[in-house]
Amino acid sequence: MELIVALGLIIFKVALLIAILLLLPLPLTWVERKIAGHIQQRMGPMRVGWHGLLQPVADGIKLLTKEDHIPADADRFLFKLAPILALAPPFVVFVAVPFGETVSVLGNEITLYVSNLNVALLFVFAVIGLEVYGIIFGGWAANSKYAVLGSLRTCAQMISYEIPMGFAVIGVVMMAQSMSLLDIVRAQADVWNVVYQPVGFFVFFVAGLAEAQRIPFDLAEAEGDLGAGFHTEYSGIRFAFFMASEYAIMLLVSVLVVILFFGGWNGVLLPLPPLVWFVLKVAFFVYLFMWLRFTLPRYRYDQLMAIGWKVLLPLSMANIIITGIAFS
Amino acid sequence: MSRARNTIGTWIGWAFFADLANGLALTFGYMFSRSVTMQYPDKEKWLPYPRYRGHHFLKRDEEGEIKCVACELCARICPCYCIEVVPYEDEKGNRRPAKFEIDTARCLFCGLCEDACPADAIALGQQYEFSSFSSRDLVIGRDNLLTKPGKAATGGGVVAARLNTKKDVLVETNEPQGYNWWRNIRRT
Ligand code: SF4
Ligand code: SF4
């Protein structure tokens, strides 16, 4: 009996997580377009619903009813597989991500995470690394030069930025003496990691920007030179999958930054519920992502590589050494 | 010396992302500044200046009679040959147009017809929304031209308006003078 209840709870949590992750891109696209509009002194979407609130729904209907086009010379199997491969890893990662300690519902303590892996951080990086398959398959299968170039760029970018990203969190792991995200947050109950690890935070955030392929590192889909990068040939719902995966990764990077460096659900000053604190911090970072997008221009490709290998990598290594010396 | 210090200062600024912070502050300021969007056609529309050359209209004199004397000068001067005038003699013995048609599909809105007219009978008004699904509908006859809106008395502003799609797509407004839209463009 207890096993069934526990199993049901896990299934319920996973279903809830998937529903939230699938639906969240809708409001996020609206928010992004509104922010874009107001930064550029426009209004953003205004016509569908109050202040364009129903615009994402209209876009969704549009994407669902568009022709599902597959180029003539495409590798049809890979072409169909790629969007799913791109969408799945960000969803899987969230299994290991905690959103808080516990809440009590009807007198029962319910944990706000699906599982507390003791190697959660490793799991996150391992699974996120898989996302690159969706992109390279998508670019390759489409049989179009823009798509191939875009996916090649993305692969190079993702691989070179995952290294400093991984190094940047080692400082955090050293401080918490654990790889479990839950323990990392607990270790920050008094002082947030960003105080001790500003360099680590910086490297992680910049690498996260590149990982999420947001401006200034969105070379994979540089409209000016590549059409739309690896998803040039995609249309309709398959294109929506790529978009959803992009938003999920942006969300994931925000969540990871908050958990690793900004104390997770530990609040300061205001006695708000932990979950509210967590959501507020994540919302701030999501806003920062969008804000940066409409502030900065795109880097050139060689600059991108130079930043990754010549700036971020040495910085993250120095960070590990200094953390090691200071906390040994 | 001071130049060297400036360079060092710039480098220190770069190291702490002063330029990035500047950029972010600028976009943040813009985010909360007033938007310059003219919400056409949902809420606002632009009222053109009095000198604007929009849709033609024919004028009436004090007795309410059409001013045009069907001299066909406008038809002659028109570079697109898009005016067609057929004269007749009315009961008072005046020469008047029996048929006066402008093919606005071909008109280039040069305003030469207005300049050429000896009777000050035709002019180009303020209306600029007359798109149509058929080019046939763009041939405007005499009676229709008499009802078209005239020159804007005061113009060059944005007025509240609303979209009317019942018959044709038309943006209606009741206000004669709106606010100066250019004011919004300038950030003070
Ligand atoms: S505005 Fe110019 S082109 Fe149009 S009817 Fe008059 S003369 Fe012809
Ligand atoms: S509108 Fe003026 S120029 Fe044209 S026919 Fe009439 S009187 Fe002559």
C-beta of residue A245 within 8 angstroms of C-beta of residue A272: no
Average pLDDT over residues A37-46: 86
Lowest-confidence range among A78-82, B46-50, B81-85? B46-50
Lowest-confidence range among A40-44, A136-140, A269-273, A316-320? A269-273
pLDDT, tens digit, for every residue of A112-129?
A: 777 778 888 888 888 888
| CA neighbor of A131 nearest in space, from A148, A107, A151 | A151
pLDDT, tens digit, for every residue of A284-299?
A: 999 998 888 888 888 8
CB-CB neighbors (< 8 A) of A45 in chain B: none
* Structure-block tokens of residue B5: 């210090």
Interchain CB contact of A295 with B (< 8 Å): yes
B58 plus B134 within the same structural domain? yes
* Structure-block tokens of residue A275: 């979950």
Q: Is the model more confident about A256 or about B186?
A: A256
B69 plus B144 within the same structural domain? yes
B70 plus B123 within the same structural domain? yes
B64 plus B144 within the same structural domain? yes
Interchain CB contact of A292 with B (< 8 Å): yes
Residue B73, ligand 2, Cβ within 6 A? yes
User: Which residues form the domain of B11?
Assistant: 2-32
Q: Give the start-end residues of each E strand in chain A.
A: 102-105, 108-111
B107 plus B59 within the same structural domain? yes
Q: What is the mean pLDDT of chain B?
A: 83
C-beta of residue B100 within 8 angstroms of C-beta of residue B106: no
Q: Is the model more confident about A207 or about B12?
A: A207
B24 plus B42 within the same structural domain? no
Residue B78, ligand 2, Cβ within 6 A? no
In sequence order, what are the residues at sequence separation of 6 or more whose Cβ sits closer than 8 angstroms to the Cβ of residue B152? B47, B48, B49, B50, B52, B125, B126
Share of chain A above pLDDT 90, in %: 5
Cis amide linkage into residue B41, ω under 30° from 0: yes
Strand B139-140 and strand B95-103: the pairing is: antiparallel
pLDDT computed for residue B57 by the predictor: 92
| CA neighbor of A166 nearest in space, from A139, A136, A126 | A126
Predicted TM-score of the model (pTM): 0.81
Does the distance separating the beta carbons of A43 and B35 come in below 8 Å?
yes
Average pLDDT over residues B74-97: 91
Distance CA B72, CA B114 (A): 12
C-beta of residue A204 within 8 angstroms of C-beta of residue A169: yes
pLDDT computed for residue B176 by the predictor: 62
Cis amide linkage into residue A198, ω under 30° from 0: no
C-beta of residue A300 within 8 angstroms of C-beta of residue A44: no
Q: Is residue B153 scored above 50 in pLDDT?
A: yes
Number of domains in chain A: 1
Q: Is residue B188 scored above 50 in pLDDT?
A: no
Which atom number of ligand 2 is nearest to the Cα of residue B83?
4
pLDDT computed for residue B38 by the predictor: 81
* Structure-block tokens of residue A319: 């960070």
Interchain CB contact of B22 with A (< 8 Å): no
Nearest ligand to the C-alpha atom of residue B119 = 2
User: Which residues form the domain of A174?
Assistant: 2-326
Q: Whose CA is nearest to atom 6 of ligand 2?
A: B68
B103 plus B157 within the same structural domain? no
CA B114 to ligand 2 center in whole angstroms: 8
Q: Is B100 helix (H, G, I), strand (E, B) or coil?
A: strand
Interchain CB contact of A35 with B (< 8 Å): yes
Number of domains in chain B: 3
The top-scoring range by mean pLDDT among A5-9, A68-72, A200-204, B169-173 is A200-204
B104 plus B164 within the same structural domain? no
Average pLDDT over residues A264-279: 82
B113 plus B92 within the same structural domain? yes
Q: Is the model more confident about A44 or about B174?
A: A44
Q: What is the mean pLDDT of chain A?
A: 85
Average pLDDT over residues A205-214: 85
B6 plus B94 within the same structural domain? no
Nearest ligand to the C-alpha atom of residue B113 = 1
Four-point Cα dihedral A235, A239, A241, A245, nearest 10: 170
CATH number at residue B121: 3.30.70.3270
pLDDT computed for residue B56 by the predictor: 92
In this structure, which amino acid lies at residue A327? Answer: F
Query: What ipTM score was computed for the predicted complex, to two decimals?
Result: 0.75
pLDDT, tens digit, for every residue of B167-187?
A: 655 666 666 666 776 666 655
pLDDT computed for residue B185 by the predictor: 62
B146 plus B62 within the same structural domain? yes
pLDDT, tens digit, for every residue of B44-67?
A: 888 888 888 989 999 998 888 899
Q: Is the model more confident about B185 or about B14?
A: B14
pLDDT computed for residue A151 by the predictor: 83
pLDDT computed for residue B107 by the predictor: 92
Does the distance separating the beta carbons of B37 and A291 come in below 8 Å?
no
Q: Which residues pair with B83 in a beta bridge?
A: B102
